[in-house]
Amino acid sequence: MKKIILSSLFTFVYLLSYCGEGMWLPFLLGKLNEQDMKSKGLKISAEDIYSTNKNSLKDAIVSLGGFCTAEVISNQGLILTNHHCGFDAIQNHSTVANNYLKEGFWAKNNAEEKTNPGLFATFIIKMEDVSEQILTGVNQNLTEKERQSIISKNISSISGSYKKEPEQDIKVVPFYDGNQYILFVTETYSDVRLVGAPPSSIGKFGSDTDNWVWPRHTGDFSLFRIYAGKNNKPAKYSPDNVPYVPKQSLKISLDGVEDGDFTMVYGFPGRTQEYLPSVAVNQVANVLNPIKIQIRENTLESMNVFMRVNEQIEIQYASKYASIANYWKKWIGESQGIRQTNAVEKKQNYEKEFTNRIQNNPTWNSNYSTLLTQLNDSYKAAEPYYILRDQFSQIFTNNEMLTMTLQIDRLIKNSENDDEKTWQAKLQKQKDAITDFYKEYNADLDRTIFARIMPLLSIKDSKLIKPSKSISLLSDNKNNYELLSNSLYGKTAFKSKESLFDLLDGSREKVIKKLKKDKAYIFATDISSEYYSKVDPKIKEYQEQINKLQRSYIKAQMEVFTDKKFFPDANSTLRLTYGNVAPYNPKDAVNFTSKTYLDGVMEKYKPGDYEFDLPKKLIDLYKNKDYGIYTDKTGKVPVCFIGSNHTTGGNSGSPALDANGNLIGLNFDRVWEGTMSDINYDPSICRNIMVDARYILFIIDKYANATNIIKELEIVHPKKY
């Protein structure tokens, strides 16, 4: 008994000991975090970080494309982000003749900068708590559908009446699972041009082997520029547009970091689930992640075989491979981290403390006594459906033929009542998408992927779906997926742009007749039809239950644990996280220091290797010790460093800032052992990885000789050695 009580108490104390963790709303820093931040080393005020009354650091931070963060680093709209965030743009401008992925790209002037249709940069103008207005009329007796209907109407009302400039947008976002609502005023610039990027042998050095790994030696950065109309307001692309003049740009410190130095990361983290019950954490680590890992592993192995022997395929699939590998490796590390840190057991102990507290309070006991039991039952009942969901979604997104069949199926279903003119307009839009799709498609590679991953769905043995047509096609091929893949890909119209265009030639009725004869289309749509009719509705039913219970659970935790600061889960909104430069000890007898150097890049160098090759000029700079002003007190060029900042996907490209708000690095990854921080942040092993600002400038200046870029920057020295 004594042991159990001590274990529970230790877990709770542990949770409270690291209240500096979290992804905090910038407009609440003064109220919740400023004192703690200053005790850890912050030298500026909360209003210097976020303000609506004056220019502040927030005015230099942008959401890039909705998937990464970038920051303004000059008074001419120059923005810095990761190489992997700019990878698609770099790839789209690359050809075999001008392979910017391989050689790098550096615009010598504005005229050489390259346009990127679809890429945008969004600034946050203002944040405001509108919970009271949004939750007016909401009560516990409503169904989820009724609740959401009232909330949607309230959001529409406030969005329509809120005062803003014509070029600004309004967005209202839920926090704490719908217990709080924040209004964002945003300003989006859609003319964003590529300015510079190192070759992948620098920007992606280490590739998949080093992804999510420390020590790291990757120069993961690229440069873009925001363009505006002549009035400095957002404008569609035009050759007459001019570089955006920002309200605020970041100064860049060349003084570097030491262990214990205060650090901040400012950006748009994507998604975390820090307040899940233990049953859900166990489900993620031990049931769902292994399924997704296996499907992606088979996909990557198939892609790798083709990419290593064909440069054209390597260019076509480089971005796709990187994207698939990214979360494949993340999920492996996440599951291992959850097990290594006993996250499930810690959650269970936390839940015991929660239960003990509510049992000693009649009101809490009346409101919350069955919450955890209900959550546990709902997650267990939903599990077989979640398994099939992840199998279906991973297979149908990692195999491109299946992806395209469902796109065409949606086109058919969404045009049922269209006249011929409307049909042809939709068809042309789809054909434009098809043209882009097949520029980066290889049917032989895709067929190999199909044969490797389709068996993992087990359509013949499933208890939840019975796609009879698909099962029949499999039986016709002796239940052999290799034979089935040859049969489907050999005759399908989906194997090339030309054959698919032929199929889509004609009226809607004519196209449908041809589709009904295409075995690949029959196979894919039979499975998807079963999934969406039998599985998807059950998932929505269970998810509705879980969402309602989780909303009550987070509300209950905030009531019960009044001595704990609760940060809202990440949801792609602007956040600030803070910590310190810190080494770590991931396992027995392994101790990692907090910094890496150019020496380590050379130690990893493997001539001709696709992951660890290096450009000759970088090697020459190293041999000649031609480092310029970009060394630390050791006389070496720093490359990367780690800190205890709580980050996630979406924080890629976020600035790492010092105590004075100067840029000291660029966030781009987390250590593998700590990727479970999306679910369970553990300060002992959770570290974010940042490119040192001095390495970025060293590459721009000494490697690329891009002095035009260097001249734009404001470089400072806030401390002396």
Q: Can you give 116-142 as a three-state secondary structure string?
A: CCCCCEEEEEEEEECHHHHCCCCCCCC
pLDDT (tens digit per residue) in 548-584:
999 999 999 999 999 999 999 999 999 999 999 999 9
pLDDT (tens digit per residue) in 63-75:
999 999 999 999 9
Distance, in Å, from the CA atom of 445 to the CA atom of 449, rounded to the nearest integer, reads 6
Average pLDDT of every residue of the chain: 94
Band (15; pLDDT cuts 50, 70, 90)? very low
Catalytic residue, chosen from 63, 83, 84, 88, is 84
Three-point CA angle 208, 320, 121, nearest 5°: 100
pLDDT (tens digit per residue) in 487-538:
999 999 999 999 999 999 999 999 999 999 999 999 999 999 999 999 999 9
pLDDT (tens digit per residue) in 154-193:
999 999 999 999 999 999 999 999 999 999 999 999 999 9
Is 468 a residue whose pLDDT tops 90? Answer: yes
Catalytic residue, chosen from 59, 88, 191, 220, is 220
Band (587; pLDDT cuts 50, 70, 90)? confident
Distance, in Å, from the CA atom of 246 to the CA atom of 255, rounded to the nearest integer, reads 25
SS3 42: coil
Three-point CA angle 297, 298, 302, nearest 5°: 115
Whole-number pLDDT of residue 720: 61
pTM: 0.87
652 in active site = yes
Catalytic residue, chosen from 201, 470, 652, 677, is 652
Distance, in Å, from the CA atom of 72 to the CA atom of 194, rounded to the nearest integer, reads 14
Mean pLDDT along residues 342-349: 96
Cα distances (angstroms) measured from residue 415 to each of 419, 522, 593? 8, 19, 59
Cβ atoms of 59 and 173 within 8 Å: the answer is no
Residue 440's Cα: distance from chain center in Å? 22
pLDDT (tens digit per residue) in 622-664:
999 999 999 999 999 999 999 999 999 999 999 999 999 999 9
Is 319 a residue whose pLDDT tops 60? Answer: yes
Strand partners, 224: 79, 194
Q: Indicate the pairing of strand 121-129 with strand 168-175.
A: unpaired
Cβ atoms of 72 and 223 within 8 Å: the answer is no
Residue with tokens 């233990």: 278
Band (19; pLDDT cuts 50, 70, 90)? very low
Whole-number pLDDT of residue 6: 31
Is 18 a residue whose pLDDT tops 80? Answer: no
Band (2; pLDDT cuts 50, 70, 90)? very low
pLDDT (tens digit per residue) in 354-407:
999 999 999 999 999 999 999 999 999 999 999 999 999 999 999 999 999 999
Higher pLDDT among residues 319 and 173, named by residue: 173
State phi, psi for 125 to the nearest 5 degrees: -90, -40
DSSP 390-443: HHHHHHHHHSHHHHHHHHHHHHHHTTTT--HHHHHHHHHHHHHHHHHHHHT--H
